[in-house]
Amino acid sequence: MTQSRTHPTDRPPPQGPRAARLAGWTLVGGSTLVILLLTLTPAGPQHQLAPSIRLCIICGEFGLANILRNVLLFVPLGLGLGLVIRRPLLAWLPALPLTLGIEALQFFIPGRNPLPIDVLANAAGAALGVLFLVSLRDVLRAQAAGPRAPGTSRLALAAWILLPFGALTGTAVAFQLAPPAPPHFVQITPSLGHLETYGGQVTEARLADEALRIGRYPDPHRLEDRLFGGARLDAHVQVGPPPPRLAPLVSVYTSAQRELFLLGVHRDDVVLRLPYRAAHMSLHPPALRLPGGLAGMAPGHEMTLSYWMETGPEPPAFGRGASTGACLIAAGRTACDLRPGIRDGWSLLYPPTRLPHDLRQPMGVLWLLGLGFLPGLMARSVLRAGGFAAGLTAFAWIVPWATGSMAWVRMTDLALLVGGAALGTLIRRSLCHLYADRPRTTPVAPSQHPGSGPPKTG
């Protein structure tokens, strides 16, 4: 009787699958805990949406940021489920009752908004996590099998590699100056519902040689040219108590309540908000700061806050956008070249003021490392990973200039992108060794029974 035998050294080591499942369960547990903490804790009343607008797609002032946050929030859960459950559809299904349960509980939590779009965004995030793991497994199997082995779908691979290019493009576009349509109304220490009211007062505000008056500005285009064309704004302030939230000193809004300009105070910091396109995209626009600009100023003390925009050459300098940034002066402290950078792309999704100050810089570092990490992880060779990293850094340098963005790029930003690609390549090669060192069970050719000769022929 003939048998198909298996060589004993061909048996896969059991520790590989066990380690993957352990990592998967750890990721599932940790991500679920983070999701529950971020979605089931009470929020302030300023975050509450009216019930009449909850059946929406982009809900509220920062609706797109909310959608993208909800997608990213469930990606780690999808990765963990994909490690625990091998079949992609079955791995994705447990995310559905979780997101449905969260939205149901949010009906009873103050400041929370149960939205149908959140369910779809959470489910999409979990699906992305599962699909990413499927693509990564295909890449690892193909590389371990040899250069001629069929790999993952080219379309899926291109999507993961091009994702960082899309993120950099979106960041540059969001950091363009895009003034809203007139008419424009000047406000001095206004009382706005969504912001704090300043306890001091502005005795005079001058833009170049003109004193600003409360009310509608007669020539809106002239106002824009002065605010963003280099004219100096001086606000003479009688200092009040440090406000716990942002309090405007001088602001300009449109009749549609769109913000054109805001110079204000948050605690001891001087804050400047400009009309970035992020506001039109339902993302969080960046706020520029002069840290400690009012530090040591007692209430009642008089001082002058100054602002102007440094304009660049025409056409814009390569890699520097349409201007070189803003300048702020307060109590002898000066900060110039204030503008967002490509490392601040994460702040479009989550306002930095909700994080401790010491975590904001590390978030920018992790953002750029993550953008470089994806091409390094999904490329099938070191040479390809190097090519993608070079292309990504060149793209990051060019895209602010090409889009006329105020975003700026530092050499350290480019180094972080390259470092992320190198880290992704190292992790991919380490994971590939697990597949290469796990021999598959291969059948051995059937052998004749001992002592039997060749078949006799009659």
Q: Which pLDDT tens digit goes with each residue over 239-287?
A: 999 999 999 999 999 999 999 999 999 999 999 999 999 999 999 999 9
Cα atoms in the Cβ-side hemisphere of radius 13 Å centred on 377? 22
- pLDDT, tens only, 379-420: 888 898 999 999 999 999 999 999 999 999 999 999 999 999
* 3-state SS class at 69: helix
Using N-to-C axis directions, what is the helix angle for 411-436 and 357-378, rounded to 10°?
A: 50
Residue 449 lies in a domain: no
Q: Is 430 or 444 the better-scoring residue by pLDDT?
A: 430
Tokens standing for residue 78: 């999808």
* 238 plus 147 within the same structural domain: no
Phi/psi for 242 (5° steps) reads -60, 120
Tens-digit pLDDT profile for residues 162-204: 999 999 999 999 999 999 999 999 999 999 888 999 999 999 9
CA 164 to chain centre: 11
Do residues 299 and 254 lie in contact, with contact meaning Cβ atoms separated by under 8 Å?
Answer: no
User: Same domain, yes or no, for 329 and 188?
Assistant: yes
pTM summary value: 0.85
Report yes or no: 348 and 174 within 8 Å, Cβ to Cβ. Answer: yes
Beta strand pairing status for 210-211 and 201-207? antiparallel
Q: What average pLDDT does this structure show over 444-448?
A: 49
Give yes or no: residues 7 and 114 share one domain. Answer: yes
| Cα–Cα distance measured from residue 312 to residue 400, given in angstroms and rounded to the nearest whole number | 14
Same domain, 296 and 235: yes
The conformation of residue 344, written as its DSSP 8-state character, comes to: G
User: Encoding tokens for residue 323?
Assistant: 């201007």
d(CA 280, CA 191) in angstroms, rounded, equals: 23
* Statement to judge: residues 208 and 98 lie in one domain: no
- Domain assignment present for residue 380? The answer is no
Q: Are strands 201-207 and 184-188 parallel, antiparallel or unpaired?
A: unpaired
Q: What is the pLDDT of residue 455?
A: 52
> Looking at the structure, do residues 36 and 147 belong to the same domain, yes or no?
yes
Residues 147-159, mean pLDDT to the nearest whole number: 66
The residue among 339, 360, 390 that closes a domain is 339
The domain boundary residue, chosen from 128, 152, 176: 152
> For residues 239 and 302, what is the distance between their CA atoms, to the nearest angstrom?
6
Distance CA 224, CA 215 (A): 16
108: Cβ–Cβ under 8 A, 6 or more apart, which residues? Answer: none
Residue 103 half-sphere exposure toward CB, CA atoms < 13 A: 17
Give yes or no for a cis peptide into 286 (omega within 30° of 0).
no
169 domain residue, yes or no? no
- For residue range 327-347, what is the model confidence (pLDDT) as tens digits? 999 988 999 999 999 999 999
What is the predicted pLDDT for the residue at 112? 85
With beta carbons less than 8 A apart as the criterion, state whether 234 and 250 touch.
no
Q: Does a cis peptide bond (omega within 30 degrees of 0) precede residue 94?
A: no
50 lies in the same domain as 138? yes
What is the domain extent for residue 131? 1-152
Residues 141 and 188 in one domain: no
Total domains, the chain: 2
Of the pLDDT bands very low, low, confident and very high (cuts 50, 70, 90), residue 155 is: confident
Rounded CA gap, 74 and 260, in Å?
35
Domain identity same for 52 and 148 = yes
188 and 145 fall within a common domain: no
Are residues 35 and 145 located together in one domain of the fold?
yes
Domain contains 438? no
In a domain, 175, yes or no: no
* Contact between 368 and 389 (Cβ < 8 Å): no
